[in-house]
């Protein structure tokens, strides 16, 4: 388990954040026995989405999935990979986002994100969504349809067990789908709020931004709140969390501490050391060759063109090219 450093808790209103974008900000509402994470994504998300030619509704769905994966994963104390996967019978057949903890001394204190979606352009066009983003009211049934949502934790270390929780896709949006997972798979008292949008910068260019907010009720402790007080406090925090708006998640001029203070200041919110987030893919030539080794000779011959085999990473759109003879003779 890698070491994490945290500042002693300080009130959100009393500290200027060292990071304002591409971060996961831990916080605690002590008076309500609640802890949480606020994720803000800016350039890292926009750079990742710029490598794909997604229609706006699909790009927004990927952005929210990446924000959800980052929010949930950074709330866990683990080293390894956290993967969100949604598979359905709608125009977007597959949605994947994953988070990886640092694997070297240089990476400690940061996390890597990536995501992608597979979609049917003709079916998507048939929805007549127009040029804007997907309707925020019900993107899950509209774009993903019926299927399942899975969260997988692959801890680093040979003796660590892999964990996966799977639930049916339900709810109108990814946040509601996550709530079903908490209730059915983990039985956690947790609440999520998400938002993603393209926001115009000072140069007039519209860039993708996203945010995620996760709150969790802490276990009851001796001398703490009584049962009724805990229930009331939890209901209040859930209600406040639900008021977080897409504009607040995506406003580059609104620092994360200000957003937390705006939401929870009446009960006192404390913040801790944030974790930096970056868009980073793990693909390389060796990994791609490893995948090609699983292809049959017939499959390899089918993808040979001009004496080469080309393979494109679904996450980052990087294309790798190899001599056909080299691939055909892989051990």
What is the SS3 assignment for 260? helix
Q: What stretch of H or E contains 67?
A: helix 56-73
The reported pLDDT for the residue numbered 294 is: 87
Out of 3.55.30.10, 3.40.50.300, 3.20.20.140, 3.40.1390.10, which CATH number does the structure's domain 12-279 have? 3.55.30.10
pLDDT digits over 137-152, tens only?
A: 688 999 999 999 999 9
The owner of tokens 């709140």 is 225
Rounded to an integer, the average pLDDT of 254-259 is 93
Average pLDDT, integer, range 271-281: 91
Q: The tokens of 112 are what?
A: 């890597």
Q: Report residue 186's pLDDT band, with 50, 70 and 90 as the boundaries.
A: low
Mean pLDDT for 72-80 is 90
pLDDT of residue 222: 72
Nearest to 197 by CA among 252, 142, 239: 252
Nearest to 113 by CA among 90, 84, 88, 134: 84
DSSP per position, 174-239: HHHHHHHHIIIII---EEEEEEEEEEE-TTS-EEEEEEEEEEEEPPP-TTS--HHHHHHHHHHHHH
Strands (E), the chain: 10-11, 23-29, 34-41, 80-88, 92-101, 110-119, 147-155, 163-168, 190-200, 206-217, 270-271, 275-279, 304-305, 308-312, 319-323
Instruction: Round to whole Å and give the CA distance between 190 and 214.
Output: 7
pLDDT class for 184, splitting at 50, 70, 90? confident
Residue 70: CB partners within 8 Å, gap ≥ 6? Answer: 24, 39, 41, 99, 111, 113, 212, 277
Domain 285-328, CATH 3.90.1280.10 — does that match? yes
- Residues of the chain above pLDDT 90, percent: 59
Q: pLDDT, tens digit, for every residue of 194-246? A: 999 999 887 888 999 999 999 999 988 877 788 899 999 999 999 999 999 99
CA 270 from chain centre, in angstroms, equals: 23
Is the pTM higher than 0.95? The answer reads: no
Distance of CA 82 to the CA centre of its chain: 9
Pairwise CA distance, residues 130 & 207, whole Å: 19
- Look up residue 52 and give its two tokens: 């794909």
The answer to whether 271 and 35 are in contact (CB under 8 A) is no
Name the DSSP class of 21: S
Q: Which residue has the higher pLDDT, 180 or 10?
A: 180
Residue 104 has pLDDT above 70, yes or no: no
Angle at 328 between CA 323 and CA 331, to 5 degrees: 115
Which pLDDT band holds residue 177 (cuts at 50, 70, 90)?
very high
For residue 56, give both structure tokens.
Answer: 């706006």
Is residue 310 within 8 A of residue 303, CB to CB? The reply is yes
For residues 135 and 175, which has the higher predicted lDDT (pLDDT)? 175
Domain(s) labelled CATH 3.55.30.10 in the chain stretch across 12-279
What's the mean pLDDT in 74-81?
89
Higher local confidence (pLDDT), 36 or 161: 36
Residue 313: strand, helix, or coil: coil
Where are the CATH 3.90.1280.10 domain residues in the chain?
Answer: 285-328
Hey, CA dihedral for 78, 80, 82, 87, is it positive or negative? negative
Backbone angles phi, psi at 160, to 5 degrees: -95, 135
pLDDT at position 243 = 95
Mean pLDDT, residues 255-268: 93
pLDDT one-digit tens code per residue, 2-36:
333 333 455 555 555 566 899 999 999 989 999 99
The pLDDT score that the predictor gives to residue 220 is: 83
User: What DSSP designation does 140 have?
Assistant: I
pLDDT at 8 (0 to 100): 44
**pLDDT confidence of 103, banded at 50, 70, 90?**
very low
**Is the pLDDT reported for residue 250 higher than 70?**
yes
- The arithmetic mean of pLDDT across residues 146-167, rounded, is 88
Which region, left, alpha or beta, applies to residue 77 given φ > 0 means left and ψ of -120 to 50 means alpha?
Answer: beta
191 versus 306: the higher-pLDDT residue is 191
Mean pLDDT to the nearest integer, 52-58: 92
Say what the pLDDT of residue 202 is. Answer: 77
Average pLDDT of the chain to the nearest whole number: 86
Question: What confidence tier does 136 reach under pLDDT thresholds 50, 70, 90?
Answer: low
């Amino acid at each position: 388990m890698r070491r994490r450093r945290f500042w002693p808790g300080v009130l959100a209103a009393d500290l200027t954040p060292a990071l304002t974008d591409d971060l996961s900000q831990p916080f605690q509402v002590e008076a309500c026995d609640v802890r949480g994470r606020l994720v803000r994504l800016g350039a890292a998300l926009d750079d990742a989405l710029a490598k794909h030619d997604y229609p706006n509704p699909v790009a927004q769905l990927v952005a929210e999935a990446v924000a959800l994966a980052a929010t949930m994963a950074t709330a866990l104390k683990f080293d390894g990979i956290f993967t969100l996967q949604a598979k359905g019978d709608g125009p977007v057949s597959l949605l994947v986002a994953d988070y990886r903890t640092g694997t070297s001394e240089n990476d400690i204190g940061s996390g890597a994100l990536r995501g992608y979606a597979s979609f049917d352009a003709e079916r998507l066009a048939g929805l007549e969504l127009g040029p804007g983003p997907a309707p925020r009211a019900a993107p899950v049934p509209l774009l993903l349809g019926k299927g399942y949502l899975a969260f997988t934790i692959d801890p680093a270390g040979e003796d660590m067990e892999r964990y996966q929780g799977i639930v049916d896709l339900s709810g109108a949006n990814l946040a509601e789908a996550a709530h079903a997972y908490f209730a059915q798979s983990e039985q956690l008292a947790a609440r999520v709020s998400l938002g993603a949008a393209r926001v115009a910068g000072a140069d007039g260019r519209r860039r993708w931004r996203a945010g995620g907010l996760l709150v969790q009720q802490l276990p009851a402790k001796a001398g703490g709140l009584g049962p009724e007080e805990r229930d009331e406090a939890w209901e209040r925090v859930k209600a406040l969390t639900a008021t977080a708006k897409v504009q607040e998640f995506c406003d580059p001029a609104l620092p994360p501490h200000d957003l937390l203070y705006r939401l929870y200041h009446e009960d006192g919110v404390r913040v801790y050391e944030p974790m930096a987030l970056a868009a980073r893919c793990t693909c390389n030539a060796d990994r791609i060759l490893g995948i090609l080794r699983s292809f049959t000779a017939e499959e390899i011959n089918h993808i040979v063109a001009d004496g080469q085999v080309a393979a494109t990473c679904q996450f980052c759109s990087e294309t790798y090219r190899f001599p056909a003879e080299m691939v055909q003779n892989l051990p």
